[in-house]
Amino acid sequence: MTAFAARPWIWSWIAMAAVWGATVLFTGGASAAGVTHAALTFAAFSVMVGIGQMFVITLGPGNVDLSIPATMTLAGTLSLKAIDAWGGGTLVGLGVSLLVGLGVGIANFTLIRALRIPPIIATLSTSFIFQSTAIWANRGIRIKPPDALAGFSTDMTLGVPNVAWIALVLTVAAWVLLERTIFGRRVLAIGQNMRAARLAGVPVDGVRFATYILCALLASLAGFLLASFSGGAALNMGAEYLLTSIAVVVIGGSSVAGGNSNVPGIWGASLFMFLLVTMLNTYGLGAGVRLILTGLIIIAVIVAAGGRTRTR
Amino acid sequence: MKPDSLRVLIPALSFAVLLAAVFWLQPRAMSYLGLNLLFNLAVPIALATIAQMLVIAVNDLDLSIGTFVSFVACVTATFLNDSPVLGLAIFAAAIATYALVGVLIHLRELPSIVVSLGMSFVWGGLAVLILPAPGGSAPPWIRALMTAKPPLLPMAIVASLVIAAVAHLIVMRSSFGTALRGVGGNARSVERAGWSVLKLRAATYALAGLFGVLAGVSLVGLTTAADANIALRYTLLSIAGVILGGGEFTGGRVSAIGAVIGALTLTLASSFLTFLRLSPDWQIGAQGAILIVVLAIRLVLNRQERRG
């Protein structure tokens, strides 16, 4: 059991493998390649927002970014609009989406700091404003991404979807950032005890500021890629990522109370969440039953992985 | 001044500022009919906010309240209308499920965020099974209750006052309420004082379920029909209402009266926008802006209070 205790992410990988097996066996193995490809593609978007949310949640109780869906929508809308208006292709889109992320991160943390309100409420308030800006910019017109960009986001390299490669690179970077840099150690220290961290000389505000910007940057990148992947930005494109981003962090074995996080679990949980829906679809169940089973299985996984003591 | 009264005073003041702004924009709102329109949808939101406040008081968070209220609304518009006994039995089972969730969270020390996230799928799925398409109809008695016209003050205000008073008595005045807030403050010392934290958490969740049921029933009394997505936004609204009402996420520091005021403030904010004749594009954004302004007012008042 010590191996399990040291690797809280292992449960999400076990659950993911079980669901993958159940899906592939049901179709007699015929769907293995297709299911895996789809899972890698869609999990990639959850992984990107999940990493950002993980860093934020690591900061401690009350730290959650609820503006991720609105940020994705805003970045997706504005970046494709910019490409359409100015030309310049992928780089312009990427630049605009990252600028959106930077702006969102600054706005979020300024509000948290200036009004001294819980981040949940601050990011909820700003998300309304971002969503409105996206509605205003969108005007109901769906701008298609340029062919090169659409092609890149749907293509594969070496049998793995390009978006999954991007997510993989970001995952490795996030792992290094969390486990091997001073920044990561400081984020963990703040999550374990903000007061102690401050007394120990950690620049608490600076680290929190950087963390919210990091989260917003990842969300806007995910929004840009998702809009390119799905042939244009839609106003509700981020909606499902609100709960998904939180779920993948916690199912992945990171502590929801902060201060204790891990990166590999996010991949396991993201693949699990997608495969779960695929499995229930494969079994041909109705929407209602599918939702109920999704909920019960999420609870079952967290009960199986639970038993870790709450620190607060 | 006692900290508890201060906790209510500041939300009440920021509510008054917003109300004054509404009256200034639209003086005709200052009437029985106007107030009724302004606060029409406040009752279900206030009840859902109380449910959320109870869960927050024990340091948990309920992400399933929105889908739960939707589920209750679907049951109200179908089973409770057609065969009241079956409808009430479903509600009893739903409240028992809420208590069970509390027990599960406590025994296995699970993060409430994830368990309630899972439950939100379960309630949502059940709601879709009951009402795959919008429909059903409200039982006549709840329709009559919600549209009643009491003298002096509109129903929405009277009901909000009653909700605030009842919730205040339970949470602030009863020994159960004190122990409940104690669980949020220091669970171990409550345990040492001879209370069972397990039973307290189960009772808290059951009570939250009961308020959720009341929210769903009263919502159908206003809308006359239900659908599976009718109250999804209540999850975020109820959390915002508790915080606007001076509650905190940890430490059992909540206020029942404040929570109702918070819910009223949120209702008022969306009514306020219809008076501004704002472009529909910016309706949601303005709601966010109002939330920020109200919190800014709270900060300013807080500071002056500390200085004075």
Q: At what angle do helices A182-192 and A32-58 cross, to 10 degrees?
A: 70
* Interval B272-301 mean pLDDT: 77
* A246 contacts on B by Cβ (under 8 Å): 113-114, 117
pLDDT confidence of residue B62: 92
pLDDT beyond 90 at B99: yes
* Interval B245-257 mean pLDDT: 85
What is the SS3 string spanning A249-296?
HHHCCCCCCCCCCCCHHHHHHHHHHHHHHHHHHHCCCCHHHHHHHHHH
Take residue A306 and report the two structure tokens written for it.
């639970």
- Phi–psi pair at A66, nearest 5 degrees: -90, 0
pLDDT beyond 90 at B187: no
CB A215 within 8 A of CB A68: yes
Which residues 51-80 of A are in CB contact (within 8 Å) with B? 61-62, 66
Take residue B70 and report the two structure tokens written for it.
């939707």
Which residues 110-149 of A are in CB contact (within 8 Å) with B? 111, 115-118, 120-121, 124-129, 131-133, 135-136
B249:A61 CB<8 A = yes
Put simply, whether A299 touches B (Cβ < 8 Å) is: yes
CB A64 within 8 A of CB A57: yes
Q: Report how far residue B269's alpha carbon sits from residue B274's, in angstroms, rounded to the nearest whole number.
A: 9
Q: In chain B, pLDDT over 70 holds for what percent of residues?
A: 96
Compute the mean pLDDT over every residue in chain B, rounded to the nearest whole number: 88
pLDDT confidence of residue B236: 82
* Interval B160-176 mean pLDDT: 93
CB A88 within 8 A of CB A145: no
pLDDT confidence of residue A5: 60
Put simply, whether B243 touches A (Cβ < 8 Å) is: yes
pLDDT confidence of residue B2: 60
Confidence of residue B4 (pLDDT cuts 50, 70, 90): low
Kindly list the averaged pLDDT for each block of 10 residues, start to end, along chain A of length 312: 66 84 80 84 93 92 87 91 80 89 94 85 88 83 80 82 91 92 91 89 91 95 91 83 86 80 89 87 84 85 63 40
CB A47 within 8 A of CB A221: no
Q: Pick B36 or B4 by higher pLDDT.
A: B36
User: DSSP string of chain A?
Assistant: -HHHHH-TTHHHHHHHHHHHHHHHHHTTTTTHHHHHHHHHHHHHHHHHHHHHHHHHHHT-TT---TTHHHHHHHHHHHHHHHHHHH--HHHHHHHHHHHHHHHHHHHHHHHHHHHT--HHHHHHHHHHHHHHHHHHHHTT--PPPPHHHHHHHH-EETTEEHHHHHHHHHHHHHHHHHHHSHHHHHHHHHHH-HHHHHHTT--HHHHHHHHHHHHHHHHHHHHHHHHHHTTS--TTTTTTHHHHHHHHHHHTT--TTSS---SHHHHHHHHHHHHHHHHHHHTT--HHHHHHHHHHHHHHHHHHH--PPP--
* A299 contacts on B by Cβ (under 8 Å): 104, 114-115, 118-119
Distance from CA of B236 to the nearest CA of A (A): 8
A291:B121 CB<8 A = yes
pLDDT confidence of residue B305: 66
Residue ranges of the alpha helices (H) in chain B? Answer: 3-25, 32-38, 42-57, 65-75, 81-82, 84-107, 112-130, 140-146, 155-168, 175-192, 197-223, 234-244, 256-276, 283-307
pLDDT confidence of residue A1: 47
pLDDT confidence of residue A310: 42
Q: In chain B, pLDDT over 90 holds for what percent of residues?
A: 43
Q: Pick B183 or A306 by higher pLDDT.
A: B183
Confidence of residue B46 (pLDDT cuts 50, 70, 90): very high
pLDDT confidence of residue B201: 94
Q: Which domains does chain B have, with CATH numbers?
A: 3-303 (1.10.3470)
Fold of the domain built from segment(s) A2-305: ABC transporter involved in vitamin B12 uptake, BtuC (1.10.3470)
Q: Where are the domains of chain A?
A: 2-305
| Number of Cβ pairs < 8 A linking chain A and chain B | 144
